[in-house]
Amino acid sequence: MTGPLLPSDPSRLAGYRLLGRLGAGGMGVVYLGRTDDGAPAAVKVIKAEYADDPEFRARFRREVEAARRVSSPWAVPVVGADPEAAEPWLATAFVPGPSLAEAVAECGPLPVRSVRVLAKMLAGALAEVHAAGLVHRDVKPGNVLLAVDGPRLIDFGIARAADDTAITSADMIVGTPGFLAPEQAEARADALGPAGDVFSLGCLLAYAATGRPPFGTGAVDALLYRTVHDDPDLEGLDEQLLVLLRPCLAKDPAERPSAAGLHGLIMEDTPSEPAGWLPPDVVRIVAETSAAMLALPDIEPTVAEPPATAEASPSRRRFLVAGAAGAVLVAGGGAAAVWAALRDDGDGDGKASGAGTGGSREWIVGLQADLSGPAKALGQAQERGARLAVEQFNARKDKPFTLTLKTADDRGDANRAGAVARAFIEDKDVLAVLGPTSDTPARAVLAVYDEALLPLISVSAGASILSTVENRSFLHARPNNLEATASITMLLTVGGTALGAQYAAGPAAGGPSRRPGLLLDRSAGDYAWESVGSVNAVVRNAGLTPYPRVVPAGTDAFRPIVTDMLAAGSDAFVYGGYAPGAAAFARALTAAGFDGPVYTPGAALTTEFLQASDEAGDGWLITATCVDPTGLPAAADFTAAHRKRFGSAPAYFAAEAYDVVNLIADGLRKAGKRPTRAELIKSLRATVYQGVTKAFAFTPDTGSFVAPASGAVFGYRVDGGRFRFLGPASVPSASS
C-alpha cells in the first residue's frame, strides 16, 4: 500500500515525519506521515506550480474548509492544513484499511449485512455533509475506506455549498461517470444538490453488493447515456437491498430519500463489535495494512532507481517520435538492391534468417480469429482471405522471402484470447498478427500485444476504445463503431440522396426525419450504445428531437415499444443491437404497419437477420465497414481467385483480411531486411496502402484508421430477402 519516498521528497512537513508514499498524481502527492506523538496521518501536498494558479489554490482552500465543516464518525477528520503555504497541504487521520474499490476487487462482493451497515454509516456521513450545507459530489468506491470499526468517507476535493454553482456550467460534468446522478451526467447545474449524493450512494452500494457498477463499464459517454436512460443493473440483489436501493436510484431527484431518511431506515444494523460488520477476508487486509504501517521506520530510505539498461524497451515518447517518421519509398535501381538484401535474409545482426531462402527462421503472419465461436462466420472468412493472400505472395517468382500463415482459434472468448496472444508473442518468428474478430477478445488482448510491441491489425472489431487510446502496436483497419454511424446521422438529418444516387430508392431514401426513434438494445452491450448513443448526440446537435428508448437484455417482445415510439411521432428508426433483436424489431414494426425508413449498423449484416426477419426486413438500410467483393469492380480478380481456391464467393471481411495481409507483406518487403516488430509497426503506421477494398492509412500515435476520400463505410439495403450492396456510404473524416 505504501511506496518508498523518492530522493526529491521531503522527510518532514510541518509537524509530520513523512514515512512513504500512499499515492501520487499530476497535481501532487499523498504521503503517510506520523506526528511526534506517533499518530499516523495521510498528508496531501500540492505541487508548487499548481499552487501558483489562484483558481487552483482557491479550490484547495475550499476543500480544506469543506472537510473541516463535516463532523461525523464516518468521515475522515482533518488534523492539520496550510492552504496558504508555498506547497499547500492537508492532513487527515490515516485509516489503515483498503478502499471499497480495492476490497471488492480483491475479495469480491460484500455480504448483505455488510452492505446494509455500509449504507447506514455512509448515509449518516452524508447526512452530516448535507447538514453542513455541502454536497460531496464524488461518492464512489474509491472514496470510501474500510476500517474495523466502520467505513470512512474521504476526499472533499470537489464538494461545494448546496446552492453554489460557481464552477458548474451547462457543459461541465462534475463527478465520476458510473457513480453520478442523471442530473450530473447531463450537467444540469440547476438540479445539482444533496439528492445527487444519494443516487451516487445507491450506485456505490449496488457495486458493493454485486461487484459490478449498476450502469456497466466502458466509454465515458456510454456510462453517461446509460445513467440517464437505462434502468440500473440490480440483478441478483437480495430483496432487502432492493428495497433500499431502488428509491436511491430514481431518475427524478425529488423521488429519492434524503440521506438522513435513509440512515433512519436501517438503524437496526449498527455493528455491535469491532470488525463484526466485515467479512473475514477484508478484515485480514485491514490487519495486514495496519501491521505494515506499524512496521515502517521513522523515515523510509530513499534510493535512486538505477538507469534503464540498453535492453530495456524504448519509452513511449521515443517510440511515438520514431513512429511519426515517413514511409520508405523504393523505386527504380534502388529496388533491386532491396530485393537482393532480402534474398540474403539478413536480420541486422549478421545471422541468416528466412524460411524458403536458405535461412533458418520463418517469416510468419499470425491470424487470431474466432473460428468456432459466435463470430465464426467472420473468422473463417478472414482466414480464407488471409490464406489466399499468403499463397499468392509465395507463388511470386521474385518473392524475397516465403510467408507462413499461422492461425489460432480464440473462439471469441476473452480468456482464451489472452492465451492465444501470449503464444504468438512468444514465437519470435511471428512478425505481425491479423485479428481478433470481435470486440470482446480484441479488448482483452490490446494491452498484451502493446506490451510486447507485436503489430496487431483488426479488420472487423470496431469498439471505439481500440482506436481512442494511445496504443504502441495496434492498427485499426476500419472506422470504429462511433465513426461508422456518421452516415446514419446524415440519412436522418439530410436524406438518402445526400449519400449518392444509389441511396435514392426504397423507404430509406426519404428526406430528413422530424423525430427519429432510437432503440438501444442492451443485449448488445457497448456496441448498442456506440451505435445509437452517438446518433442521439449528433442529431440533437443538428436540431432534431429524437425519441430514445432502451430495452433490457433478452427482450424479444418489441410490439409495446413500437406502439409507444409511433405514438410519440417517430417517423424513422435506428436500431442498435445484434441480428436476433433486429429481426424481432423488424417484425414488430411490420405488424404495426410501419413502412418508413429503418437504419442499423453492421451487426445485422448476417443470414440470421434475413432468415429471422423474413419479409419484415425488406427496405432496412445497413451501414457496415466491409464491402461485398462480388459487387465491387476493384475486387473482381480477388473474387475470381477466391471462387477458384475455395469453391465459393468470398464472405464479408474476407477481402479486408486479404488486403491487410498484403499490407503486412508490403511493409516487410519495404523494410530492406528482416525488421524487428517495432520497426514493422513504424513502417505500417507510416504507409498508405491501396487494397482492393479501400486505401489503408493510420495515425502514427494511436494506429487509428484514417478514412480515405472515397469512403470506408458501405451501405446495404435488404431487398427481396438478400443484401443489395449500395457502395460507399461514408462521411469522410477531416483528416482524409
- What is d(CA 326, CA 352) in angstroms, rounded to the nearest whole number? 28
As a whole number of angstroms, the distance between CA 96 and CA 284 comes to: 12
Instruction: Quote the CA–CA distance of 47 and 26 in Å, as a whole number.
Output: 9
Looking at residue 179, its amino acid is F
Amino acid at 536: N
Partners of 517 in beta bridges: 547, 573
Which set of grid coordinates corresponds to residue 134?
Answer: 455541502
C-alpha cell at 289: 495494512
**Annotated catalytic residue, options 36, 138, 163, 571:** 138
Interatomic CA distance for residues 345 and 669, integer angstroms: 11
Radius of gyration of the chain (CA): 29
Listed in sequence order, the DSSP H helices in 542-600 are 559-567, 579-591
Beta bridge partners of 75: 153
Q: Grid coordinates in use for 58? A: 482557491
Residue burial 318-341, b: 16+ Cβ < 10 Å; e: rest: ebbeebeeeeeeeeeeeeeebeee
Report how far residue 355's alpha carbon sits from residue 361's, in angstroms, rounded to the nearest whole number. Answer: 5
**One-letter amino acid for residue 117 of the chain:** V
User: Would you call 138 a catalytic residue per the annotation?
Assistant: yes
What lies within 8 Å, CB to CB, of 301 at 6+ separation is 4, 5
Give counts: helices (H), strands (E), the chain: 24, 24
How far is Cα 285 from Cα 147, in angstroms, rounded to an integer? Answer: 10
For cell 481478433, the residue is 436
3-state secondary structure of 537: helix
Tell me which amino acid residue 408 is: A
CA proximity to 683, closest of 696, 700, 695: 700
Active site residues: 138
